[in-house]
Structure 1
Amino acid sequence: MSCPDCYSGHVHSGTPRGTIEKLHGLDTYVTQPSDATKPVKGIIVIIPDAFGWEFVNNRILADNYADKGSYRVLLPDFMFGHAAPVWLLNSMKVVTGKDSSYLAKAWKIPGVVYGFASFLFFNRPGRRYPIVKAFFRALRAANPEMHVGAAGFCWGGKHTVLLAADPEMTVDSGKPLIDCGFAGHPSMLSIPGDIEKMHRPVSFACPENDPQVSLAQAEIIKKIVEGRTGESRGEVVVYENCGHGFCVRADTTNDDVARQAAEAEDQCIRWMQSHF
């Protein structure tokens, strides 16, 4: 999670249309289909990348999921206000830019190091997963008849995998914490250990150029999850010429990357529809 690509990318333009609510103890961005006549088919909880629940890209993605799949989409503040600052994106462009001067890079490096360290200190999986789990447990209890899916990105991808491996069955419904999951360019995974523990179906969107999950590791994940039968069977889709973060922070001026980011959205919706 300390790789530069985890904190790089582009801010998207758009105006999120959802509302802010306090749900199960957490501030949460809530959005539903823009066509109010469409019935809600289930609940998707987005577990975001390092930039958290207030990042405009994540909220726009939530809106897109709501419209594409007719879902109620929740984007909680699992980080308790300690998301990576958005200014880190611009600082990373300077630090990693080929045209940046040494002076400009030297000026930005201390801030980048601070941004990395602060995020990682507050948001270690061991510290945040109990918060994530408690939210899903409460969500299940409050919505026993609804299907629930988790869509995690980068930092959130790890938590989706942990939820899919969690043995707990919710007390009130007797159901697992999630029906299924989607993991877009997940980070911090222990491969194959984390994958072998999963018992819920997860769909992985893996970019070709990813320092967090290499192509060789993606093949290991694919062999494990696609080699299963029944409700635990998953899938892996590799996106060519894309890098880490493309599902959320894609350069929309690059037609090929923008197209594949949209395809990853459709992958998630298709997966949820097939398991709800």
Structure 2
Amino acid sequence: MTNIKDGRVVHFFNTNIVYYPGKNSRNMSSSLNITNESLQCCRRGNLRTGTPTGKEVTLAGRQAYFAAAANGKPVGALLYITDAFGWDVSNARLLADTYAADGDLDVYILNVLDKDAVPPGAFTHPDLKFDMAAWAGKIISLRPEHENAYIEAVKELRSKYSKVAASGYCWGGYYSIRLAQHDDLIDTAIASHPSLVAVPGDIEPIKKPVFFVCAETDQQFGEEKREEAKEVLAKKPETGSFFKLYPGTQHGFTTRPDPEGVTASHEAKDATVTWILKHFGVTN
């Protein structure tokens, strides 16, 4: 159980996050290896407090969290693909609520990781031993199954909505990129500080516009990998993809920011909504 009195509360998207001082090391290397060291950024972060306003539904035969467009007239659907902590962590659900309210979007979070999700205690208590490298190895072996689940979810959304976007975070960024490799699944994708992404292998097949939300300090999608991805997509201007770097931020800042990253988190949220609406053909 998280002991909030051990942390300090910081306002974040109309709710609060609990920050545990001294437990978020900034000592990151540029290694791209799948090791516990290189994956520590994927378990670092802060817990949001608040009460999600959506409900649990079924999407493509799986559990899903659903946040309805605030005005009841959605301009389209957003498939929110979570980070390693899965579909039922408050951070994901509260951010989905925000997208629904700010973008007039119907937002869905599919339960794909299920019992394979990293336990929330791994980031509320970073001293807790958790083998991220072993976790990543298992998750990579399950990629075909997980990708198919997201494809089936998008197909179902396509039967109900004329416009569909996918927004992936950390582990989920890989899948939003993969969905953007198809001609007829989504209209656009967002990949926020994606992890376990191969460059150029996962980047070259992109066909749809992808908005890359990039952290300045990121062991998984650092400067070298980011610049290589930029070069690949510069040769494919027809995709209309775009990279935005948020100075002073760390991997995970859009969903699990430290106090210094809260402002950038708000900015990234606004930029994501603007990007989606632009590619849905909605003018403000």
Question: TM-score normalized by structure 2?
Answer: 0.80
Say if 2:173 and 2:195, in contact at 8 Å, map to a contact too. Answer: yes
Structure 2 vs 1, CA of residues 7 and 120 (structure 1 numbering), >3 Å: closer, same or farther? farther
Distance 1:80 1:90 in 2: 19
Alignment partner, residue 212 of structure 1: 220
SS in 2 for 1:137: helix
1:47 is the counterpart of 2:81: yes
Say if 1:45 and 1:148, in contact at 8 Å, map to a contact too. Answer: yes
Runs ≥4 residues deviating over 4 A: none
Alignment partner, residue 277 of structure 2: 273
Say if 1:185 and 1:245, in contact at 8 Å, map to a contact too. Answer: yes
Alpha-carbon offset, residue 116 of structure 1: 5.5
Alignment partner, residue 134 of structure 2: 117
Q: 2:246 aligns with which of 235, 239, 253?
A: 239
Structure 2 vs 1, CA of residues 155 and 220 (structure 1 numbering), >3 Å: closer, same or farther? same
Say if 2:67 and 2:108, in contact at 8 Å, map to a contact too. Answer: yes
Tell me which amino acid in the other structure corresponds to 2:143.
P
Say if 1:84 and 1:119, in contact at 8 Å, map to a contact too. Answer: no
Tell me which amino acid in the other structure corresponds to 2:172.
G
Distance 1:158 1:134 in 2: 16
Say if 2:63 and 2:110, in contact at 8 Å, map to a contact too. Answer: yes
Q: 1:88 aligns with which of 97, 115, 122?
A: 122
Structure 2 vs 1, CA of residues 177 and 219 (structure 1 numbering), >3 Å: closer, same or farther? same
Distance 2:155 2:114 in 1: 18
| Larger strand proportion of the pair | 2
Q: 1:16 aligns with which of 52, 65, 68?
A: 52
Tell me which amino acid in the other structure corresponds to 2:254.
C
Alpha-carbon offset, residue 227 of structure 1: 4.7
Tell me which amino acid in the other structure corresponds to 1:49.
D
Alignment partner, residue 96 of structure 2: 62
Q: 2:263 aligns with which of 249, 256, 259?
A: 259
Alpha-carbon offset, residue 160 of structure 1: 0.7
Q: Deviations over 1:233-274 (max 9, x none)?
A: 1000011111110011002x33xx111011111111111111
1:28 is the counterpart of 2:46: no
Distance 2:199 2:136 in 1: 23
Unaligned runs of 5+ in 1: 95-107, 168-175
Q: 1:178 aligns with which of 171, 174, 186?
A: 186
Alignment partner, residue 138 of structure 1: 156
Say if 1:83 and 1:119, in contact at 8 Å, map to a contact too. Answer: no
Q: 1:149 aligns with which of 155, 160, 165?
A: 165
Of all paired residues, the percent bearing the same amino acid is 30
1:249 is the counterpart of 2:256: yes
Say if 2:77 and 2:157, in contact at 8 Å, map to a contact too. Answer: no
Tell me which amino acid in the other structure corresponds to 1:185.
H
Say if 1:129 and 1:159, in contact at 8 Å, map to a contact too. Answer: yes
Alpha-carbon offset, residue 150 of structure 1: 0.1
Distance 1:120 1:54 in 2: 22
Mean Cα displacement is larger for which, 27-36 or 147-156? Answer: 27-36
Q: How many residues align?
A: 243
Structure 2 vs 1, CA of residues 40 and 7 (structure 1 numbering), >3 Å: closer, same or farther? same
| Larger helix proportion of the pair | 1
Distance 2:233 2:44 in 1: 29
Alpha-carbon offset, residue 71 of structure 1: 0.4
Tell me which amino acid in the other structure corresponds to 2:106.
R
Q: Deviations over 1:19-62 (max 9, x none)?
A: 101122011100123344xx211100001000010010000110
Distance 1:27 1:34 in 2: 22
